[in-house]
Amino acid sequence: MVQRIRGWVRSMVRRVRSDNGMTTSEYAVGTIAACAFAAVLYKVVTSQPVMSALQSLLKEALDAKF
C-alpha cells in the first residue's frame, strides 16, 4: 500500500515539474486578467467614498503630534 502511495506521489511530482512555463495564450489570459483587475481597482480607488476616506486618513497622518 505504501509503495502505491509513493508511486502516485512521484507521478504527481513529475507532472507538476514537467511544466516548462506559460504558453502565449496563458500570457494573454493573464495579461487580460491583470488589466481587468487594475481597471476595477482604479474605479474603486477613485470613487468618492474611498477618496474621502483616503484624504481623511492622510490628513490625520499629517496632523499627528509627536
pLDDT of residue 26: 83
Cβ contact 47:55 at 8 Å? no
Instruction: Encode 15-35: b = buried (16+ Cβ within 10 Å), e = exposed.
Output: eeeeeeeeeeeeeeeeeeeee
Q: What is the pLDDT of residues 7-55, one digit of tens each?
A: 888 887 776 665 566 678 888 999 999 999 999 999 999 999 999 999 9
42 vs 51: CA distance, rounded Å = 11
pLDDT of residue 49: 93
